[in-house]
Amino acid sequence: MTLRSVDAKQMESLRKMIPEDRFSTGDSVLNLHSRDQSFHPPSRPDVVIWPILKEEVCAVLKYADENRIPVTGWGSGTSMEGNPIPVKGGIVLDFSRMNRILQIREQDFQADLEPGVIYQDLNERLRHKGLFFPPDPGARATIGGMIGNNASGTRTVKYGSTRDYVLRLTMALASGELIETGTRASKTSSGYDLVRLFVGSEGTLGLVVEATVRLAGVPSEYGAAVVTFPSLNAAGKCVFEIKRSGLDPAALELMDPECIGLMNREKGLGLSVLPTLFMEYHGPSSHQLAETIKVVKEICVDTGCTGFNAGFGRGERDRLFRARHELGEMILRNHPGCGVLVVDVAVPATAYPDMIAAVKEEMKKGGVTGYIFSHAGDGNLHVNLVGKREDQDGWRRIHTVADRTVAGALASGGTATGEHGVGIGKRKFMEAEHGKSLRWMKKIKTLFDPNGILNPGKMFPYNDDFLQLTR
């Protein structure tokens, strides 16, 4: 039995399950749920449903499974790789109204959340408790979406990815079954780690309907440093020495001169237009932090920095990092009529400088404009490749640069995606990255979702005929 669109009779059945104000087949709603923040082409669902109860999610899934209707979870649509685009139509479950912070257990450093909670809103609520949820993908992402994509960001070098902050999940499975997995203890060796199997599975194994996440203490003191280098290589060496020193930076971001130029122009930062590291350090007291920064400076000087500025107040630090977070938007604004393909790969530390050199070379060869800014401390490289929307030849060249960058990352032992997930764009690399273990991923998919209704057309390289590959 293959997957099907929702027919008129089925639409009536679904309509009876959900109150009218949380059910829509309206054009604008379908359009809004046809694309994320990526360059991937839009694809509309047949219907959008906003559940607010676990039981509603289960009922819709059970019905969809029985009728072979695709179901795709939706957070806030800020994914970067087409992850939530309903490429086979069907039902989109939009979790944005299932967004209660159920409980903050301050003394346990934990919070129980519905999947639609926006992580910045959670952090706003936590502010006065001296706690925060560290993963920070930047966009206004939901917790459910972050879990789906194993999202991460600038703070991951110190604090880890979303994967490291999920303790417990309640999952609605394809059949409509509800299971709880994980523990409220901060460590466990009990049974198979289903929590981490679900994290990063992009809604293809089940849908998160509740999560218990770990929180961290807000550091008493923050310190930032902006450090310039004569070459990307020198900056790369500095990244290595800082990591080896045990200094534990809370952010270690590398920007190429093109990015610095853009940030200067838009935000008047007045930085030297050179390869630049933005660093952040956290500490329990200003004296301790001052000692940390001293050691940082020594290392930067030893590795040949040409400029070191660490005398920032909190406001100035916020301004710098806000500019860093807005780079994606700045690039779009500065190239009117253009689209952007965001490359996201991660490689071992030693492969990092060569990777940057190679992508620069590919851009030059292909005549492609691009901006390199990256979570250097994690070996996670982003390149935003820019092209006129209608320039088909240009986009062919952009895709060539992107594909060669991913191929290069894999050849160096790295991964096709550091934090954006597989979605649509990285499916074609899955066989190359995972080899025979991809078959086992597929078997797990088939175990949890035998009819293939959950976010079909994602994660695996096989196209329309999901079931064809079920061996």
Residues 393-452 that bind its own copies (CB under 8 A): 409, 412-422, 426, 430, 433-438, 440-441, 443-445, 447-448
Q: Does 161 bind its own copies (CB under 8 A)?
A: yes
Question: How is 149-200 classified by DSSP, letter by letter?
Answer: HT---TTHHHH--GGGGEEEEEEE-TTS-EEEEE-SSS----S--HHHHHTT
Closest separation in Å from C-beta 248 to its own copies: 8
Would you say 186 and 195 are in contact if contact means Cβ atoms under 8 Å apart?
no
Would you say 364 and 295 are in contact if contact means Cβ atoms under 8 Å apart?
no
For 371-460, where are the alpha helices, taking DSSP H only? 392-411, 430-434, 437-448
Binding to its own copies by CB under 8 A, coded x per residue (else -) over 221-240, reads -------------------x
CA–CA distance, 389 with 107 (Å, rounded to integer): 51
Q: Does 471 bind its own copies (CB under 8 A)?
A: no
Among 186, 392, 463, 470, the residue binding its own copies under the rule CB under 8 A is 186
Nearer to its own copies, 200 or 387 (CB): 200
Nearer to its own copies, 144 or 418 (CB): 418
Among 97, 100, 127, 244, the residue binding its own copies under the rule CB under 8 A is 244
Nearer to its own copies, 46 or 344 (CB): 344
Would you say 145 and 159 are in contact if contact means Cβ atoms under 8 Å apart?
no
Q: Does 163 bind its own copies (CB under 8 A)?
A: yes
- Terminal Cα distance for the chain, rounded: 16
The owner of tokens 């994606």 is 328
- Judged by CB under 8 A, the stretch of 2-10, 51-59, 114-122, 342-350 that binds its own copies is 342-350
Closest separation in Å from C-beta 175 to its own copies: 11
288-317 positions binding its own copies, by CB under 8 A: 288, 291-292, 294-295
Query: Among residues 397, 434, 394, which one has the least CA distance to residue 414?
Result: 434
Closest separation in Å from C-beta 292 to its own copies: 5
Among 30, 113, 402, 459, the residue binding its own copies under the rule CB under 8 A is 459
Binding to its own copies by CB under 8 A, coded x per residue (else -) over 56-95, reads ----------------------------------------
Binding to its own copies by CB under 8 A, coded x per residue (else -) over 191-210, reads xxxx-xx-xxx---x-----
Nearer to its own copies, 31 or 350 (CB): 350
Nearer to its own copies, 11 or 432 (CB): 432
Nearer to its own copies, 15 or 196 (CB): 196
Closest separation in Å from C-beta 358 to its own copies: 16
Count of C-beta atoms within a 10 Å radius of residue 217: 12
18-37 positions binding its own copies, by CB under 8 A: none
Burial of 363 (0-12, 13-18, 19+ CB in 10 A): buried
216 phi, psi to nearest 5 deg = -120, 160
CA 445: distance to chain centroid?
A: 21
Nearer to its own copies, 358 or 441 (CB): 441
Closest separation in Å from C-beta 149 to its own copies: 6
Q: Does 149 bind its own copies (CB under 8 A)?
A: yes
Q: Tokens standing for 189?
A: 């060796």
Query: Among residues 363, 375, 322, 360, which one has the least CA distance to residue 120?
Result: 322
CA–CA distance, 294 with 402 (Å, rounded to integer): 39
Among 24, 67, 76, 110, the residue binding its own copies under the rule CB under 8 A is 110
Query: Which residues are 28's β-sheet partners?
Result: none
Sheet containing 207-214: which strands, arranged edge to edge?
Answer: 101-105, 110-113, 207-214, 166-172, 178-182
Nearer to its own copies, 86 or 379 (CB): 379
127-146 positions binding its own copies, by CB under 8 A: 130-131
254-293 positions binding its own copies, by CB under 8 A: 282-285, 287-288, 291-292
User: Nearest 5 degrees, angle CA 158-CA 210-CA 444?
Assistant: 80
